[in-house]
Amino acid sequence: MFRLFYVSTASPDFGPSDIKPLVETASAKNRKLGITGALKFNGINFAQVLEGEKDAVLRLMSTIRYDKRHTGVIVVAEIESDERMFGHWDMSFVDGLDFQDFVNAMSSRKEEREQNA
C-alpha cells in the first residue's frame, strides 16, 4: 500500500460549484483503480491524499498534476503503509479550512516508520 499527499492551488476560475463534478469523476475512476483517499478544498488550496497500489497512485498523480483546474502541485509526502486510512472512501470530499489533520496523519505515520526503521 502506497500513500501520497499533495497540496496545490486552484486555478482562478475554479469555484465551489466546480467541486461536485470533480469529485464525482474522481470517485468513479478511483473505484475502478482501487484508489481511496480524501480531498480538501478551502476555496484557494487543495489538499489530497491518494492511497492504493503504488503504480496506480503514481499514474493517477501524473494525470492530476497536469489538470488545468489547479497549479503549483507539491507532493508533500509519499509513504508505504500496511493499511489504508481512507478505505471507506473512493474520494471523500471534506469541506473546510483545516488541513492540519491531513498533515498530522501523514507526519505521524512518517515518524512511526522512522522509529521502526
**CB distance 35 to 57 below 8 Å:** yes
Amino acid at 30: N
Beta bridge partners of 93: 39
Kindly tell me which residue out of 29, 86, 99, 105 binds ligand FMN, with binding defined by CB under 6 A.
29
Confirm or reject binding of residue 84 to ligand FMN (CB under 6 A). no
* Contact criterion met (CB below 8 Å) for 52 and 22: no
Q: Does residue 71 bind ligand FMN (CB under 6 A)?
A: no
User: How far apart, in whole angstroms, are the C-alpha atoms of residue 5 and residue 24?
Assistant: 20
Q: How far is the CB of 11 from ligand FMN (least distance, A)?
A: 8
In the block, residue with C-alpha cell 499527499: 5
Q: Binding of ligand FMN at residue 64 (CB under 6 A)? A: yes
Can residue 69 be called a binding residue for ligand FMN (CB under 6 A)? yes
- Output the smallest distance, CB 27 to ligand FMN, in A: 8
Cα 50 from Cα 40, distance rounded (Å) = 12
3 binds ligand FMN (CB under 6 A): no
Summarize as ranges the residues that interact with ligand FMN (CB under 6 A). 8, 22, 25-26, 29-30, 37, 39, 46, 48, 50, 60, 63-64, 67, 69-70, 91
